[in-house]
Structure 1
Amino acid sequence: MEPATPRIVVGVDGSEPSLHALRWAARQAALTGASLEAVIAWEMPSLYGTGMIPGIPEGFDLEDSAANALSQAVETALPPEQATAVVQTPVLGNAAQAILDRGEGAELIVVGVRGHGTFRSTLLGSVSHTVTLHADCPVVVVRGKSE
Structure 2
Amino acid sequence: MGRIVVGVDGSEPSIKALHWAVRQAELTGDTVEAVNSWEYPATSWASMMPGVPEDFDPQAVATIALTEVLEEALGVEGAAAVSMVIVIGSPAQALLDRAKGANLLVVGARGHTGFKATLLGSVSLHVAQHAPCPVTVVRD
Q: TM-score, normalised by structure 1?
A: 0.88
Residue 138 (structure 1) aligned with residue 131 (structure 2): no
Aligned alpha-carbon RMSD (Å):
1.9
Kindly state the Cα deviation for residue 57 of structure 1 after the two structures are TM-superposed: 1.4
Kindly state the Cα deviation for residue 46 of structure 1 after the two structures are TM-superposed: 5.4
Consecutive unaligned residues of structure 1, counting only runs of 5 or more, are none
Q: How many residues align?
A: 140
Matched residues in 2 for 1:82 and 1:75: separation?
Answer: 7
Alpha-carbon deviations, 1:28-58, whole Å to 9, x = none? 0011000000000011135828x64443212
Alpha-carbon deviations, 1:63-86, whole Å to 9, x = none? 011111111111111133321110
Consecutive unaligned residues of structure 2, counting only runs of 5 or more, are none
Question: Which protein shows a greater Rg?
Answer: 1
Percent identity between the two aligned chains: 57
Runs of 4+ in structure 1 over 3 Å off: 51-55, 118-121
Matched residues in 1 for 2:56 and 2:14: separation?
Answer: 25
SS for the counterpart of 2:119 is coil
* Distance verdict in 2 for CA 1:22–1:46, change over 3 Å: closer
| Structure 2 counterpart of 1:64 | 60
Matched residues in 2 for 1:27 and 1:20: separation?
Answer: 11
Matched residues in 1 for 2:83 and 2:132: separation?
Answer: 21
Matched residues in 2 for 1:47 and 1:71: separation?
Answer: 19
> More helix per residue: 1 or 2?
2
Pick one of 32, 35, 38 that aligns with 2:34: 38
Residue 21 (structure 1) aligned with residue 12 (structure 2): no
1:92 is aligned with what amino acid?
A: I
1:1-147 mapped onto 2 (5 Å cutoff): 5-45=1-41, 48=44, 52-144=48-140
